[in-house]
Amino acid sequence: MKAVEANSDRRVVLTGNKAAAEALHMARIKVLCFFPIGPSDEVGEELSRMIGRGQHDASIIDLANERSVMNAQLVATQAGVRCSFATNSEGLLFAVQQLIFASYARVPIVITVAHRALEPPAVVRTDDMDTLMYRDIHWMHYHCENSQDVFDTTLQAYHVSEDHEVLLPAFVTYDGWEVSHNAHPVELPKQEEVDEFLPPWQLPEGLDFLKTNFAEYYSTEHRMSGYGYVDVDREYMERRHQLDQALNVTAKAKVLKAHEKYQNLVGRGYGGLMEPYRTEDAEVVLLTMGSFSATARLAVDMLREEGMPVGLMKLRLFRPFPGTELVEAFRGMKVIVTLDRNVIWALWSELRSAFFGQPGPPVILGRIAGLGGRDVTYYDIAQMLEEGLSAVAGKQVEPQRWHFHVSKSRNSVPLPQVFERGWNQP
């Protein structure tokens, strides 16, 4: 994060969840959709405490399960009020029909997700799979590094999603426990600044069904369009094309615009789609998302002190994926190491696709680490960067590797017991 001079007089210490709740409070959400699941639940708890104290004015909808609650969020958003919902892992699985309806019907809901690994085996700790498995349904995916990032990104997510040219749902995600339950300093903007940045949610022209005269509507040839309806005009394919353009063209531009606007207002920025760190004249760059970036900065500093040409690229937005922008940013670099916290090599495969057919592409090494909340220290990341440097020197390096162990120093490589026991043993 760039240290830009602060013009705020409110500096507080908040966990990631509480920062999200504070952002939703300042976004003046009118409906809190609430269903419990850890580690995201604290967002709703904190907001409902604010409502109880009379500090925040909103209605609470708590129905039978995540599907009901996310459905209420969908309908209330279409009825013209801004809503919030925080859930993760199995909660998202419960509501998957609503997830797809939201993007395909262009309903701009925002869901804050503190990542939690999917079961079985049951764990409560973090990895990215719970939202990354929805990378193909045209949601926007923001990945946040710390509480400040969570706070700022939540406001920006509403700003971009509710733009009438975008109208797309968004996940604002951060690592469960590592970010959600760790306290970080957060600078809060003034409420007037937030109000200026984020005016109330306005429905597009002609889509306010709470104002429709239904007796007339059902008696004429009039046909409701825009949101979910039967494809009588055979325009499904055109709708999907619009959706794709909205995500990959319009939303990308709007994210940059929103980021710039917010930066001018608050004096704090994250580079828009991605944030480089010491990448000038670097030969090996690590590409990662979320709280890994904070650890990676230490590793980069450590290696830079030893004179090694390494850097970090923190991806802020996984969808829309800034492929061409990354290709441009990595031009002239020799090795890129992607660090994924998911089993699908998401960053590795996306980056390779982006580089396909480009002249003189770098070597792209894929690394998976930290699944189910396993610790990743800066020694681990330093080791990955050093592997990249060996590749630059022409040595043979594994192109894809699962990084299981936790390094407590530069040379320790203990293997976990599971290899001796077999995968299905307790």
Partner 1 sequence: MKMVMEREDKELFMNITANQCPGCPENLAAKLSMQIVFETLGEDQPIVYGQGCGIGRDFLQRSGLGTHDSGCAAMKTAMAIRGIDRPLVVIDGDGQVDMGLDDLASAFQQGYQYMHIVCDNQGHSASGSHATGSTDVLARVSSRPTGRIQGRIQGRKHFTFMLMFSGANYVATASPSHFRDLERKIKEGLKRLPAFIQIMTPCNPSWGYDDDKGVTVAKLAVTTGLWPLYEWKDGVFRRTISVPRRTPVEEYTRLQRRYAHLSREDFGAINGYIDEMDDLVNRMERAFGPDLD
Residue 397 C-beta: closest distance to partner 1, Å: 47
Decide: 404 and 373 in contact? Cβ < 8 Å: no
Main-chain dihedrals φ then ψ at residue 140, nearest 5 degrees: -90, 135
x/- binding map, residues 17-56, to partner 1, per CB under 8 A? -------------xx-------------------------
Residues 46/49/55/56 CA torsion (nearest 10 deg): 70
CA distance to 21, 50, 179, 305, 312, per residue, from 46 (Å): 6, 6, 16, 42, 34
Q: Specify the residue for token string 């719970």.
A: 130
69 interacts with partner 1 by CB under 8 A: yes
Phi/psi for 289 (5° steps) reads -135, 165
Is 402 a residue that touches partner 1 (CB under 8 A)? no
* Torsion angles phi and psi, residue 16, rounded to 5: -55, -45
The residue from 74, 286, 364, 389 that contacts partner 1 (CB under 8 A) is: 74
- Based on CB atoms, which residue is closest to partner 1, 104 or 345? 104
Phi-psi region of 327 (alpha: psi -120 to 50; beta: other; left: phi over 0): alpha
Q: Of the two residues 17 and 71, which places its CB atom closer to partner 1 in the complex?
A: 71
Residue with tokens 């999603």: 161
Q: Which is nearer to partner 1, 217 or 236 (CB)?
A: 217
The correct pick among 17, 47, 86, 101 for binding partner 1 (CB under 8 A) is: 101
Give the bridge partners for 364, in sequence order. 336
Q: Which residue's structure tokens are 């690394």?
A: 367
Whole-number minimum distance, CB 110 to partner 1, in Å? 16
Instruction: Name the residue nearer to partner 1 (CB basis): 7 or 59.
Output: 59
| Least separation in angstroms between CB 62 and partner 1 | 8
User: For residue 151, how many C-alpha atoms fall within 13 Å in the half-sphere facing its CB?
Assistant: 27
From 19, 37, 47, 76, residue interacting with partner 1 (rule: CB under 8 A): 76
SS3 state of residue 265: helix
Q: Which is nearer to partner 1, 168 or 188 (CB)?
A: 168
Binding mask 285-314 for partner 1 (x = CB under 8 A): ------------------------------
In whole angstroms, the minimum distance from the beta carbon of 6 to partner 1 comes to 35
The rounded distance, in Å, linking the Cα atoms of 131 and 271 is: 23
Looking at the Cβ atoms of 217 and 356, the one nearer to partner 1 is 217
Q: Which is nearer to partner 1, 232 or 413 (CB)?
A: 232
**Span 198-227, contacts to partner 1 by CB under 8 A:** 209-215, 217-224, 227
Interstrand relation of 335-340 and 363-369 (parallel, antiparallel or unpaired): parallel
Residues near partner 1 (CB under 8 A): 30-31, 59, 61, 63-65, 67-69, 71-76, 78-81, 97-98, 101, 209-215, 217-224, 227-230, 232
